[in-house]
Copies of this chain bind each other. A is one copy, B any other.
Amino acid sequence: MSGQRERILAPHRSIRRFRPEPLPEGTLERLVAEAQRAPTDATGQMYSFVRVADPAVRERIAAFSGEQQHIVEAAEFLVVCADLHRLFRVLKLRGLKVGRFPAVGLHLGVVDATLAAQRLIDAAEAMGLGICCIGGVLNGIEELVERLALPTGVVPLFGLCLGWPAEAPAPRPRVALDAVLHEDRYRDQSAAEIEGDVAAMAATTRSGDWVKVLARYFAAGGVMEQREAALRRVLERQGFAW
């Protein structure tokens, strides 16, 4: 994909090695202010960012996320959370009864938080900062809820490392554009198209076989299945079970 089209935004690639310098004074706040400009459903702003400053907590998160040392070394590490709690407090302060909509609430919270986080990412990359999203926080999601003292209505989604890049990896490949863009009706790919994606994605792997990466995460017995029970418990505990 790269090189075929003129770029609009700064090119994204995950950065896992950072220079030790902190962000300049006020930069994190500027980035969060940009995040707040993202679209939000029904003026709800259903998200929170928890900045993890405590080095011991960073070490713990790095450990359960799979020894990802960039979580410790990045200038900043944020936990991006869906947050219905703050909104509900506004209603309660005026004596109003909060609705019960756990599925819709989770949907809205995850969308709102992720819109804000990606706007923060695009702003950070426009400034020359590097980022890395950490899906592995799901491995220790119950511990994370405890350590960050997240109230009912708040769920951690992913982590976000931010800092000055100390590496310049090439952008990773992606599946074909027409795999993700449909017209009027969902169009299934042919087997040949899928094989084309598998070939294109080979460069993102060490083994040269994208299917091995997918299998490790998404096949029966894989990483995602192992994360399922804890996420369900957290969703129940935080008020999003139905």
Binding site for B on A (CB under 8 A): 1, 4-9, 11-12, 14, 28-39, 41-45, 47-54, 57, 83, 86-91, 93-94, 96-105, 107-108, 110-111, 114-119, 121-123, 126-127, 131-133, 135, 138, 147-151, 154, 157-158, 171-172, 174-175, 177, 179-186, 188-189, 191, 194-195, 197-198, 201, 204-205, 210-211, 213-215, 217-225, 227-228, 231-232, 235, 242
Q: A104-B224, A204-B43, A218-B87 are in contact. Are A53 and B183 (CB under 8 A)?
A: yes
Separation of A222 and B52 alpha carbons in the complex (Å): 36
Decide: A118 and B177 in contact? CB cutoff 8 A: no
Separation of A29 and B5 alpha carbons in the complex (Å): 10
- Please pick, from B12, B175, B186, B225, the residue contacting A148 in the complex, using a CB distance under 8 A: B186
Decide: A111 and B114 in contact? CB cutoff 8 A: yes
Q: A96-B211, A101-B227 are in contact. Are A180 and B218 (CB under 8 A)?
A: no
Q: Min CB distance, A107 to chain B, in Å?
A: 6
Decide: A217 and B175 in contact? CB cutoff 8 A: no
Q: Min CB distance, A99 to chain B, in Å?
A: 4
Which residues of B have CB within 8 Å of A91? Answer: 211, 214-215, 218-219
Which residues of B have CB within 8 Å of A242? Answer: 228, 232
Which residues of B have CB within 8 Å of A122? Answer: 9, 118-119, 122
Decide: A189 and B1 in contact? CB cutoff 8 A: no
Decide: B123 and A9 in contact? CB cutoff 8 A: yes
Which B residue sits closest to A221, measured CB to CB? Answer: B99
Separation of A34 and B174 alpha carbons in the complex (Å): 11
Q: Min CB distance, A135 to chain B, in Å?
A: 4
